[in-house]
Chains A and B, each alone.
Chain A
Amino acid sequence: GNSVTQMQGQVTLSEEEFLFINCTYSTTGYPTLFWYVQYPGEGPQLLLKVTTANNKGSSRGFEATYDKGTTSFHLQKASVQESDSAVYYCVLAHDSGYNKLTFGKGTVLLVSP
């Protein structure tokens, strides 16, 4: 079946530190991969999206690269800010069907000033 694994339940950093959030997936075919971010009191919002055509996405200083060999889609940022504190979801769209999104369990990022 289709699955998304985020092993880190919580990541705690200080401002300006490097962020790495792990995401691996399992599926067949050529998925589209997303990172959504959810700030306190809000719904999730799209952070970035990557297809097999472009392999890499970036937005607001965040980057993620789709690696078919290791089936990974890790999220990185060189220097975090306190305002980046949020929950980050790795999401897999494994075909064009309407209900074909699989969400990871989410990683809580806490950034202290």
Chain B
Amino acid sequence: KQEVTQIPAALSVPEGENLVLNCSFTDSAIYNLQWFRQDPGKGLTSLLLIQSSQREQTSGRLNASLDKSSGRSTLYIAASQPGDSATYLCAVGVQGAQKLVFGQGTRLTINP
């Protein structure tokens, strides 16, 4: 059974810092990996999608990497801003199906 873990559960950093959020999964036979952002009381916004054959994806100040063999993904946020404060969720697409298994998320706070 695929399990997804995100560390740390919460992170608070001053504005302007570069930071890394971690995601690990137990079964390397994945279809894809998706990073989401969730604001309090809101739905999920897709940030980046990495196919199993890819190593990384970039969008603006965000860069996500995938190392399938070690069961890890990282989300790198450059030059953090208070508007980046949210919960970030990592989800793994189960191979053979498109259903996602989610981690518990990292609650990020960027302090002005």
The finding on whether chains A and B are genuine partners in a shared complex, rather than unrelated, reads no
